[in-house]
Structure 1
Amino acid sequence: MTTEAEAAATDSSGADSMGSTETTSGGEDGPPPPPLDLPPEPEIPKDPEGCHAIYAQDLLPTFELTIHPIVWSMLKQEWLDGQMNEDLGVNPKPYHPLAEFRYGDIVIQDAEIRLRGNPTAWYVDDKMQFQIGFHTNDPNGNFLGIKRLAFDAATFNRHMLRERLAYAVMRDVGIKAPCANNARLVINGEYYGIFTNLEKLDEAFLDRNFEDPTGDLWKRGNWTLKTNLDSSNPIRLNAMRDAATAEELFTYLDIEQALRVFAAEAVIPDSDGMWAGGLNFYLYDEPIGGKFMLLPWDKDNTFERFSHPPDGEYPANPDPFVWEKWTSHGRPCYTIALEDPMWFALYIDLIDEILHDGYAPDKMHERIDTWTEQIQEAVFEDVNKPYSDQLYLNKVAELHEFVDTRFAFVEAWLVCWQNGGIDDGDGYCVYP
């Protein structure tokens, strides 16, 4: 049978590109058969902003998991032993068979489940956090095009909005950031709790966000390669990390794109991204532009996380240029870029844009109110959350207050830099 590709390679005389003739199954003089009619690839549903529909902001999905009692006991024990296993070099988060994953009428019986998060923050009385893998038994396995679902419940994200709100700000200002909403989990027929429903930075994310999704994706942590495991090497990554000047850095890193992420992390603010000297980010070696792009990740240490006194470990309002966490792992890309006056001027402009377009208080308060109304009943019904309903409400109020305070602080900071302020020698803006 002649395929469409073969037909396209055949000239009008019936000779293919090598000059030979071909007899079709329709007979020597008969017409070729029609091309094979393959079913179309299923279309992945999307919400109005281009996110997968399962992360739509007007949706509070409920996922039902059936977990064998032995597997459930193993997960509980792994939660208790997480730090010890990590210290011993034992994988603290192995996948286990999931008897059934159900969403509405969709039932999947070959998925797997594991714990997620940092074992150092797994407290005994906390709600466990999970990741579902649809790809672990079948590389092509998926749920509506998704390979992994991540359910986050960071201990101190008590209003359940940190990551959802941070990523929304970033997407609003043109950053390729994960999509997120909230979701309910029902385990073995009983409501287990509410989570942040996070889009993973993986192959599906790259497909959604990049014209060419075939580049190398590196997770900072221990510089773990997440794609192209059989064909890549760290030569380009190491060259970028070895850059000593802005010119050298520009060869490998999309500095303008990275500064936009730095500026967003500074405005929000975030204590764990590259801006602060943290490890929570990815780098994508984008093939078309030929440069690395900074991708934000793990935004549960944001907003009112900065509630310490002004001179505390996490100041209530960290300076958007100077502040660096005391446990910093270094931030050479940030420092090298901002030593250049041109890139520093762009950084100031980007903070202005992000503050007023992405972090505008009216928009922020509307989102907080809308999403709180959406999830509040599910929070109250969550008997596994490690805090009271009243503390939850207090934290929502604190988030509102923090947004206003942060906006005013950064706006005043901008006024100084944009109206003749100079560096005092330590990076702080002062008037001459």
Structure 2
Amino acid sequence: MSSNRDIPSYEIHINEDVYKRFKKDVWSEDPVDAVLVVGDNKYEIQLLYRGAHIRKVTKKSYQFIFPKVTSGIKELHLNAEYIDKSLIRNKLSLDFFESISVLSPKSNHVLLTINGEFQGIYLQLESVDRYLLKNRNLPKGPIFYAENDNANFSLMSPIRKGIKKRFESGYSLKEGTKEDTAALGNFVYKINTISQKEFETEIHHYLDVDKYLRWLAGVVCTQNFDGFIHNYALYRRSDTGLFEILPWDYDATFGRDIHGKEMEYDYIPVQGYNTLTARLLDVSSFKNQYYHILKKILENQFTPEYLEKEIQQMYRQIEPYVIKDPHLKETIKQFYNEPEFILKYITNRNKYLRAHLSDLL
């Protein structure tokens, strides 16, 4: 249901009375029945609002659930990207993670119409679920969403200000069993209790360290401040038993925070944050491994030269539709200014990180 060259058009049809009630209660978690039309194809779906604070804005974000798996898809997320006036930060970030060998959901822009009323341009996000794994020929395994700040890889809760009652708190189980949830709790426990002497050897029984360090480099480059304790998913491969980490919800990146305000390029240190990161970087071999991963990324993928091509391509694709979006008329000037802003951020962030690579030695 995606296209690399053209932007697909999604038409939603809902019973008018149902739609009126749906629009009145944006905080409802109950799905409504609808029909999705894409070209000559029709699909029965269930439609929900998605997000938290973004439900307050005029342009809503949605989730599609397919009662029958369609083209290898069970769920889709349509993000309004209303706070990010460039409309590309999320996709730019997820594509960037993919370029540095981090498992990442696919995304593409689409046009949305509901009951004949054009809603504007949206970013379609692949759901992190069993079908993502299947579509990439990856082994089955449990998947957890990091929902809140308790997903900080610590035994201490920043919410309760004390020891967690359950070490797996902060996560919701997307795929898996109670036994898998217990394994996650054990993983968090081990992160915090393995002795410093044994950590370098023992952590390899629980975590794909190389993939975690690549993810860490991606978060540090893009400066997703929330990304260290949520805005991610965990996947435990059934063939190795090791946890891998995936990025999610990366619109507050490339120099903007969750409110769309400027975030200084030196806001997040080269070491990043969270308990697991701190323990890994306390080991000389892991710190050296991270140093070389980040150095190579700063020389290749996280450069103005590499990312400018991506930015320009995305802008050429979406610009004709952004100017027609009924929700973006007042911010169109900022839309045109954002590429320069993003590229300036990349330039400054790259220089800052290069200057602080020595902190890892």
SS at match of 1:111: strand
1:305 match: 256
1:106 match: 41
Q: How does 1:238-317 map to 2 (within 5 A)?
A: 238-243=185-190, 244-245=193-194, 246=199, 247-274=201-228, 278-305=229-256, 314-317=263-266
Q: Residues of 2 paired with 1:333 and 1:402: CA distance?
A: 27
1:7 match: none
1:223 match: 171
Determine whether 1:72 maps to 2:7: no
Q: Residues of 1 paired with 2:72 and 2:271: CA distance?
A: 42
Q: Residues of 1 paired with 2:78 and 2:284: CA distance?
A: 42
Deviation, structure 1 residue 77:
2.0
Q: TM-score, normalising length from structure 2?
A: 0.85
Q: How does 1:140-155 map to 2 (within 5 A)?
A: 141-155=68-82
Q: Residues of 2 paired with 1:337 and 1:386: CA distance?
A: 47
Contact 1:176–1:209 at 8 Å: present in 2 too? Answer: no
Q: Residues of 2 paired with 1:191 and 1:417: CA distance?
A: 51
Instruction: Figure out how many residues of one structure are paired with residues of the other and give that number.
Output: 331
SS at match of 1:333: helix
SS at match of 2:56: coil
Q: 1:313–1:186: structure 2 CA closer, same or farther, 3 Å change rule?
A: closer
1:133 match: 65
Aligned CA-pair RMSD: 2.3
Contact 1:173–1:357 at 8 Å: present in 2 too? Answer: no
1:342 match: 285
Q: 1:319–1:280: structure 2 CA closer, same or farther, 3 Å change rule?
A: closer
Which consecutive segments of 4 or more residues in structure 1 shift more than 6 A? none
1:115 match: 49
Q: Residues of 2 paired with 1:405 and 1:413: CA distance?
A: 12
Q: 1:123–1:117: structure 2 CA closer, same or farther, 3 Å change rule?
A: same
Contact 2:144–2:235 at 8 Å: present in 1 too? Answer: yes
Deviation, structure 1 residue 384:
2.1
Identical residues among aligned pairs (%): 23
Instruction: Judge which range, 260-269 or 390-399, deviates more.
Output: 390-399
Q: 1:252–1:134: structure 2 CA closer, same or farther, 3 Å change rule?
A: same
Q: How does 1:26-425 map to 2 (within 5 A)?
A: 54-79=1-26, 82=27, 92-98=28-34, 100-108=35-43, 110-118=44-52, 120-124=53-57, 126-135=58-67, 141-213=68-140, 215-221=141-147, 222-229=170-177, 232-243=179-190, 244-245=193-194, 246=199, 247-274=201-228, 278-305=229-256, 314-322=263-271, 324=273, 331-385=274-328, 387-414=330-357, 416-417=358-359
The answer to which structure has the higher strand fraction is: 2
Q: Residues of 2 paired with 1:399 and 1:195: CA distance?
A: 20
Q: Residues of 2 paired with 1:361 and 1:313: CA distance?
A: 19
The one-letter amino acid of 2:38's match is Y
Deviation, structure 1 residue 321:
3.0
SS at match of 2:124: strand
2:166 match: none
Q: Residues of 2 paired with 1:376 and 1:76: CA distance?
A: 28
Structure with max Cα Rg:
1
Deviation, structure 1 residue 232:
3.5
The one-letter amino acid of 1:65's match is I
SS at match of 2:90: helix
Structure 1: gaps (5+ residues): 1-53, 83-91, 136-140, 325-330, 423-432
1:89 match: none
Q: 1:240–1:289: structure 2 CA closer, same or farther, 3 Å change rule?
A: same
Task: After superposition, give the CA deviation of every residue in 1:53-104 in whole Å (9 maximum; x if it has no partner).
Answer: x34432311111112222322332222xx3xxxxxxxxx3221111x21111
Contact 1:159–1:396 at 8 Å: present in 2 too? Answer: yes
Q: Residues of 1 paired with 2:250 and 2:21: CA distance?
A: 28
The one-letter amino acid of 1:223's match is Y
Contact 1:155–1:386 at 8 Å: present in 2 too? Answer: no
The answer to which structure has the higher helix fraction is: 2
Deviation, structure 1 residue 297:
1.1
SS at match of 1:402: helix
Q: Residues of 1 paired with 2:329 and 2:14: CA distance?
A: 23
Contact 1:216–1:232 at 8 Å: present in 2 too? Answer: no
Q: Residues of 2 paired with 1:209 and 1:356: CA distance?
A: 28
SS at match of 1:201: coil
SS at match of 1:142: strand
Contact 2:110–2:124 at 8 Å: present in 1 too? Answer: yes
Q: Residues of 1 paired with 2:97 and 2:272: CA distance?
A: 20
The one-letter amino acid of 2:14's match is I
Deviation, structure 1 residue 391:
2.1
SS at match of 1:376: helix
Higher relative CO (Cα under 8 Å, sequence separation at least 6) belongs to: 2
SS at match of 1:384: coil
Q: Residues of 1 paired with 2:314 and 2:248: CA distance?
A: 21
